[in-house]
A = this chain, B = another copy of it.
Amino acid sequence: MTDPLFKRVALIGIGLIGSSLAHNIRAHKLAGHIAISTRRSETLARAEELGLGDSYHLEAAEAVKDADLVILCVPVGSCGAVTKEIALALMAGAIVSDVGSVKGSVIQQMRPHLPDSVHFVPAHPIAGTEQSGPDAGFLELFENRWCILTPVEGTDPEATERLRRFWEACGSTVETMTAEHHDLVLAIVSHVPHLIAYNIVGTAADLETVTQQEVVKFSASGFRDFTRIAASDPTMWRDVFLTNRDAVLEMLARFSEDLASLQRAIRWGDGDALFDLFTRTRAIRRGIVEAGQDTAKPDFGRDHTRAPAGKS
A: contact size bracket: 35 or more
A141: chain B residues at CB < 8 Å are: 304
| B263 and A292 contact, CB distance less than 8 A | no
B262 pairs with A259, CB closer than 8 A: no
Instruction: Please measure, in the bound complex, the distance between the C-alpha atom of A307 and the C-alpha atom of B293, giving whole angstroms.
Output: 8
Chain B residues whose CB sits within 8 angstroms of the CB of A218 once the complex forms: 126, 146, 185-186, 189-190
Chain A at the B interface: SS class: helix
Q: Are B189 and A215 in contact (CB under 8 A)?
A: yes
The 29 listed contacts between A and B (C-beta, < 8 Å) are A77-B271, A129-B299, A144-B307, A146-B217, A186-B218, A188-B215, A189-B204, A189-B218, A191-B222, A193-B225, A196-B196, A197-B281, A199-B255, A201-B284, A204-B284, A216-B287, A220-B294, A225-B225, A225-B229, A228-B285, A228-B299, A230-B282, A232-B282, A234-B274, A237-B274, A249-B263, A256-B259, A292-B308, A293-B308
A residues near B, CB below 8 A?
77, 101, 126-131, 136, 138, 140-141, 143-146, 173, 184-186, 188-207, 209-210, 212, 214-232, 234-235, 237-239, 241-242, 245, 248-249, 251-252, 254-256, 258-260, 262-263, 266-267, 269, 271, 274-275, 277-282, 284-288, 291-295, 298-311
Extra inter-chain contacts (11) besides given A217-B293, A252-B259, CB under 8 Å: A77-B271, A143-B305, A144-B304, A194-B222, A199-B259, A206-B258, A230-B282, A232-B278, A238-B274, A249-B263, A292-B311
